[in-house]
């Protein structure tokens, strides 16, 4: 049997929720994406964009209205629940673990449900606990751990199942900066060391930019971008500008720029001012210049800015909203 190149294929996935008044909400609307083996895919989008619903449909926790999901070459619906042997997940907004059991007891329980319980497996669990700095807390009841440790323990429990695919839904939500960075660096390391496929959802672009190779951006239930993070950044790098003005900026300049260019910022210095702006269309530079001229601004210097995913994302979501 040939090994399929795709770890996951999602085709025309649609999920409609019907409210009490009969109003239908298309939480996921004809979503298609592909995840290659060994890839770390980011699923980025604001709250309510349909990330969690998509993940839950893939995992069989929700029944989609239509669409096809193929996991490692197998039709997920036809192979349910056996196909779950290939997938594990940390789900957002719930506990994922038994709080009255220790970290180790949770790891053993959930991995046994996946039939992972050999001596070699246990050594691997120990390795994971060390990697996530949870080794000392191994026999502590989960409820006694800090929020960050609880989250890390959930991730360990998912990874301990040794599945080729791992879904992490908002893994850094509610974590302090330090723990978030730690979790991210461990995930990057694991993704490099083990040839597993990760799908990481987040509304935090930093996380995606840091951890993922490719990003699928969702907005209002639809996929609006599906691209390599690096490509997306270079695309936008050419459009992000920093303009230095001689003398302070005139009153209300930022207010005039903001409606035209999303995320435009003006910072006043002692004897100068700086404008950061992302241009999305070819004619934008002329409109920008027109505004600056009418504000009597004297331009000292124009330079490219390094794009970050946050600006890219804000721009994309803004365009998407304007279109719909």
Partner 1 sequence: MNLGSVLAAVFRRDWTMMKRYMVNSISSLVSIYMIFMLIFAGLQSVSSYVKTGTLDGSLEGTIVGFFVWTFTIYAFSNLSWNLINEAQTGTLEQLYLAPCGFKWVGAATAISDFVFSFVPIMLLLVAMMATTGRWLRMDLVSLVPLLLITLLGAYGVGFALGGLALVFKRIQALFQIMQFVFIGLLVIPVRVPGVKYLPLAMGNDLIHAVMVDGVRLWLLPPGDILTAAAVGVVYLAVGIVIFSLCERVAKNQGLLGHY
Interacting residues toward partner 1 by CB under 8 A = 15, 17, 53, 56, 59-63, 81-85, 87-89, 91, 93-101, 105, 108-110, 112-115, 117, 141, 157
Closest contact distance (angstroms) between CB of 110 and partner 1 is 6
- Of 51, 47, 46, the residue nearest 13 (C-alpha): 51
Q: How far is the CB of 67 from partner 1 (least distance, A)?
A: 14
User: Nearer to partner 1 by C-beta: 105 or 272?
Assistant: 105
Given a contact cutoff of 8 angstroms between Cβ atoms, the answer to whether 160 and 125 are in contact is yes
Q: Given the complex with partner 1, which of 62 and 285 has the nearer CB atom? A: 62
Q: Are 165 and 180 in contact (CB under 8 A)?
A: no
**With respect to partner 1, which residue has the nearer C-beta, 48 or 85?**
85
Tell me if 134 sits within 8 A of 73, measured CB to CB: no
- Tokens matching residue 16: 């409609």
Rounded CA-CA distance 312/24 in Å is: 31
- Look up residue 124 and give its two tokens: 């691997």
Closest approach of Cβ 137 to partner 1, in Å?
Answer: 17
Count the Cβ atoms, other than its own, within 10 Å of residue 222: 18
Q: Which is nearer to partner 1, 173 or 181 (CB)?
A: 173
| Distance in angstroms between the alpha carbons of the first and the last residue of the chain | 45
- Nearer to partner 1 among residue 87 and residue 288 (C-beta): 87
Closest to 8 in 3D by CA, of 70, 82, 63: 70
Q: How far is the CB of 85 from partner 1 (least distance, A)?
A: 4
Give the DSSP letter of residue 86. G
Cβ 61 to partner 1, closest distance in Å?
5
């Amino acid at each position: 049997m040939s090994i399929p190149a795709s770890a996951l294929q999602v085709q025309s996935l649609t999920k409609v929720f019907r409210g009490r008044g009969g109003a239908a909400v298309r939480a996921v609307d004809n979503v298609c994406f592909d995840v290659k083996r060994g890839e770390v895919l980011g699923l980025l989008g604001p709250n309510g964009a349909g990330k969690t619903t998509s993940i839950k449909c893939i995992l069989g926790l929700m029944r989609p209205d239509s669409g096809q999901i193929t996991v490692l070459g197998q039709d997920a619906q036809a192979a349910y629940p056996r196909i779950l042997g290939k997938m594990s997940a940390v789900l957002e907004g719930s506990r994922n673990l038994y709080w009255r059991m220790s970290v180790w007891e949770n790891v053993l329980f959930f991995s046994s449900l996946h039939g992972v319980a050999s001596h070699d497996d246990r050594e691997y669990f120990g390795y994971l606990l060390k990697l996530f700095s949870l080794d000392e807390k191994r026999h502590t009841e989960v409820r006694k751990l800090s929020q960050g440790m609880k989250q890390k323990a959930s991730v360990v429990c998912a990874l301990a199942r040794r599945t080729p695919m791992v879904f992490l839904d908002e893994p850094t939500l509610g974590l302090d900066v330090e723990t978030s960075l730690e979790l991210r660096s461990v995930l990057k390391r694991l993704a490099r060391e083990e040839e597993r496929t990760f799908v990481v959802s987040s509304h935090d672009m930093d996380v995606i930019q840091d951890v993922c190779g490719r990003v699928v951006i969702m907005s209002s239930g639809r996929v609006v971008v599906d691209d390599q993070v690096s490509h997306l950044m270079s695309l936008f790098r050419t459009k992000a500008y920093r303009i230095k003005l001689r003398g302070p900026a005139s009153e209300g300049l930022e207010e005039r720029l903001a409606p035209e260019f999303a995320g435009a910022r003006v910072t006043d210095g002692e004897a100068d001012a700086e404008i950061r702006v992302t241009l999305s269309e070819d004619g934008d530079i002329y409109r920008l210049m027109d505004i600056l001229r009418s504000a009597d601004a004297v331009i000292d210097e124009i330079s490219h800015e390094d794009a970050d995913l946050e600006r890219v994302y804000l721009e994309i979501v803004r365009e998407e909203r304007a279109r719909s």
